[in-house]
């Protein structure tokens, strides 16, 4: 008969190897960002294929409609009136830097901060989704159109939604004092 000593070493399971934590962390990044990119690109493909430019399909009268618009500028049409070359260079550079920064923040986020990491993964996926449009089309396809009466929110897409949710998670962590050291 083998007797195991009742020491602290034998009472708990061995710690998870760091490689497993790293793998799980980046698998979550791939799953979350990948889901955002796939959903974004599929919905944009459907809009490009089935809804004519500037065509509107009412969904909830007086509140929500699908409206196919293409935004050559940044958020809310920023720099939309600049030349295509200026916009292209500027937005590709800014998007690439943003994707790199978000990837760095994700890398630096400890495994204990899963919601924060998920927020960064949403931002990462959304940024990649819109970057794909900029590289492929030179503009971003938007189609989610919310309004009340004459008050319109600028049209947006799945990638924009993911970015917004990710930034909201980040801000909640900052305001709530829950940022990692």
Q: Which active-site residues does the annotation give?
A: 142, 160
- Among candidate residues 142, 156, 141, 153, the one with its CA nearest the CA of residue 63: 153
Q: Are 32 and 24 in contact (CB under 8 A)?
A: no
- Among candidate residues 5, 2, 44, the one with its CA nearest the CA of residue 128: 44
Q: Are 115 and 122 in contact (CB under 8 A)?
A: no
Provide the H-helix boundaries in 7-150. Answer: 8-11, 18-50, 84-108, 114-137
157: tokens are 């897409």
Integer Cα distance of 45 and 109 in angstroms: 33
């Amino acid at each position: 008969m083998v007797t195991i000593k009742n020491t602290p070493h034998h009472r708990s399971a061995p710690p998870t190897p760091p490689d497993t934590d790293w793998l799980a962390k980046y698998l979550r990044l791939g799953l979350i960002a990948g889901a955002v990119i796939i959903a974004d690109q599929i919905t944009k493909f459907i809009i490009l294929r089935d809804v004519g430019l500037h065509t509107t399909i009412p969904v909830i009268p007086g509140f929500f409609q699908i409206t196919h618009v293409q935004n050559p500028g940044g958020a809310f049409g920023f720099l939309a009136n600049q030349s295509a070359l200026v916009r292209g260079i500027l937005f590709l550079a800014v998007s690439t830097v943003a994707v790199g920064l978000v990837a760095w923040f994700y890398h630096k986020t400890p495994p204990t901060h899963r919601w924060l990491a998920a927020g960064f993964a949403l931002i990462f996926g959304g940024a990649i989704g819109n970057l794909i449009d900029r590289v492929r089309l030179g503009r971003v396809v938007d189609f989610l159109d919310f309004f009340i009466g004459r008050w319109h929110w600028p049209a947006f897409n799945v990638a924009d939604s993911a970015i917004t949710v990710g930034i909201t998670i980040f801000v909640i962590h900052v305001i709530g004092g829950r940022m990692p050291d």
